[in-house]
Amino acid sequence: MERTKDYIHSGGITTAVDPGVIITPDMYQQMTNILLDESLPMDYWLIPAGNFTYSMAGYDAEKGKQLAEQQTVQFASIEQIQWLPKYIKLFSDGAMYSQLMQLKDGYIDGHHGEWLQTPAELEDSMRPYWHDDYTIMVHANGDLGFEAAIDIVDKLNAEYPRSDHRTGFHHLGITDVDDIPRAVKQGSNFSVNPYYTHILAENYSANGVGAERAEVMARGRSFIDAGGLLSLHSDAPMAPAQPLSLVWAAVNRIGLSGETVMGPQERISVDEAMRAITIDAAYTARLEDQVGSIDIGKQANFTVLEQSPYQVQPKEINQINIQATIYQGKVHPISQSNAGMQMTQTTQTALNALNQHQGEHGHHHDHDHDVCETSLLFQKVISAM
C-alpha cells in the first residue's frame, strides 16, 4: 500500500476514482492508516461494487442497494478518502485479459465469453439505483455486453426519465460502432482503457478475436465523432497508473511490438486525449466544478511537467518527466517520474495467466481471497511461465 501511494503520485495524479470497491473493516483501517500516515497529495474517491452487494443480498435488488449504502456509512470517509455521493458500479460481461468479454459474433477459436452479471441481473440490480437518481458506472468489455447495457439504460430511462444521469460505460474493449450513437443519445458517457490497444491488439488479432475487431479495440475517434464524452482510465494494474501513458496510447495506438499502428482511424488528438484525463474525466465523477482545469474557484490541484504534451512528438508523450504535483496549493516533488513495471511480452503473459487461472481467482469472482493468497497465486503463475 505504501508503494502504491508512491507509485500513484509518480504518475502526477491528484484525483483518483476507484469504482467497484469491496472492502473489509481490517482492509479499510489498514488502507487509511497507510495512506493518511503522512501527506497524501491526492483525493481518493471510492465507489461501491453493486454486483457484490446484490449477490450478498441473495439477488434482492433493494437489499443489495441497502448493503452498498451501509458500506459507505460503516467505512466513513476520512480526509481525502471519500465515497463519491450516490455512485455505484455494476457489471455486464467478462474481462479483456482473460478473453471473457461477450462478443456478438463469438470468438474465432470457438470459446465463449461470460457474464459477470447477466442482462437480467444487471437490469434488476440497476433499477433501484436508477429510480433513486444514482450515477451508475457499468463495466462492459465486449460489443454484446455493451449493447445489453445500452438496452437496459434505454428501458430504465423510459420507466423513469432522467436528463442528467451520466451513466458511464467503462473499459469498452470491443464495441460495435453502430451502438455508440444510441448511447450518446441516451446521455451516457464513455471511459476507455486505451492501453488495451497497445498490450492486446496485436495478440488478439491472431488469437481469439481476429484482426477486424482487435485492431479497433478501445476506440477513441468513434466515440468523439458521435458526439460522446470520452475519458481515459488505467484500471490499474491492467494499465499503468500514468495518465500521460494513457494519452500516448490513445494518440498513437502503437502495438506491443512497437512496429504497428492498430486501427489508425481510431486515434484521437493530443488535445482530446488531454481533456480525457482532466476536465472530461472530472465530468464523469461530477467533479468538474472542483477539479479538471485551472480556474478561479476550483481546487489548486495540478501537475508540473518538464515538457508540454502539445509540443513534443506524439510518440514521446509517455517519456515526459513529471516534476511535481500541486495539491491544495502545496508543492509535492516527485523523485522518480512514472515509476512502475514496464509492460512487455513476459509481463503480459503473467497477467493473462493470472486472469485465466481456474479454481483460485478470476472466473469464480468469489472475492474471498486475501492479499497473502493473491501473492502466492502470483508466484505460482510466474513460476509456471
Using H for helix, E for strand and C for coil, what is the string for the chain? CHHHHHHHHHCCCCEEEEEEECCCHHHHHHHHHHHCCCCCCCEEEEEEEHHHHHHHCCCCHHHHHHHHHHHHHHCCCECCEEECCCEEEEECECCCCCCCCCCCCCCCCCCCCCECCCHHHHHHHHHHHHHCCCEEEEEECCHHHHHHHHHHHHHHHHHCCCCCCCCEEEECCCCCHHHHHHHHHCCCEEEECCHHHHHHHHHHHHCCCCHHHHCCCCCCHHHHHCCCCEEECCCCCCCCCCHHHHHHHHHHCECCCCCCECCHHHCCCHHHHHHHCCHHHHHHCCCCCCCCCCCCCCCCCEEEECCCCCCCCHHHHHHCCEEEEEECCEEEECCCCCCCCCCCHHHHHHHHHHHHCCCCCCCCCCCCCCHHHHHHHHHHHHHCC
Is the pLDDT at 363 greater than 60, yes or no?
no
**pLDDT tens digits along 246-304:** 999 999 999 999 999 999 999 999 999 999 999 999 999 999 999 999 999 999 999 99
- The yes-or-no verdict on residue 358 having pLDDT over 50 is no
CA distance 51 to 63: 12
CB contact at 8 A, 68 and 58: no
* pLDDT of res. 361: 38
Torsion angle in degrees (nearest 10) through CA of 3, 7, 42, 269: -160
Average pLDDT over residues 311-334: 95
Q: At 322, list the grid cell.
A: 513529471
Q: Quick one: cell of 196? A: 488495451
DSSP-assigned letters across all residues of 117-142:
S-HHHHHHHHHHHHHTT-EEEEEE-S
Q: Which of 350, 321, 155 is nearest to 237 (CA)?
A: 350
The pLDDT, as a whole number, for residue 74 is 92
Residue 344 has a pLDDT of: 56
pLDDT of residue 291: 96
Q: How many residues does the chain have?
A: 385
Residues 167-213 have pLDDT tens digits of 999 999 999 999 999 999 999 999 999 999 999 999 999 999 999 99
Please tell me the predicted confidence (pLDDT) of residue 379.
Answer: 44
Predicted local distance difference test score (pLDDT) of residue 142? 98
Bigger pLDDT: 270 vs 24: 270
Asked if the peptide bond before residue 237 counts as cis, ω within 30 degrees of 0, the response is yes
Determine which helix (DSSP H) or strand (DSSP E) holds 192, and give its type and residue range.
strand 189-192
Confidence of residue 7 (pLDDT cuts 50, 70, 90): confident
4 pLDDT tier (thresholds 50, 70, 90): confident
Which of 116-125, 140-149, 341-350, 368-377 bottoms out in mean pLDDT, i.e. has the lowest?
368-377
Average pLDDT over residues 311-330: 95
Residue 378 has pLDDT above 70, yes or no: no
What is the grid cell recorded at 137? 458506472
% of the chain beyond a pLDDT of 90: 76
- Could you tell me the pLDDT band of residue 1, with boundaries at 50, 70 and 90? low
Q: What is the dihedral of CA 343, 117, 134, 61, to 10 degrees?
A: -150
Find, among 242, 241, 248, the residue nearest to 220 by Cα: 248
With the C-alpha atoms ordered 121, 123, 129, 131, is the resulting torsion angle positive or negative?
negative
Mean pLDDT of the chain: 89
List beta partners, residue 91. Answer: 139
pLDDT digits (tens, 9 = 90+) for 61-117: 999 999 999 999 999 888 899 999 999 999 999 999 999 999 999 999 999 999 999
Question: 89-93, 118-122, 127-131, 236-240: lowest mean pLDDT where?
Answer: 236-240
pLDDT value for 385: 46
pLDDT at residue 381, rounded to an integer: 47
pLDDT for 372: 44
User: Are residues 325 and 332 in contact, defined by beta-carbon separation less than 8 angstroms?
Assistant: yes
CA-CA distances (angstroms) from residue 45 to 224, 265, 294?
Answer: 26, 34, 20
pLDDT at site 76: 87
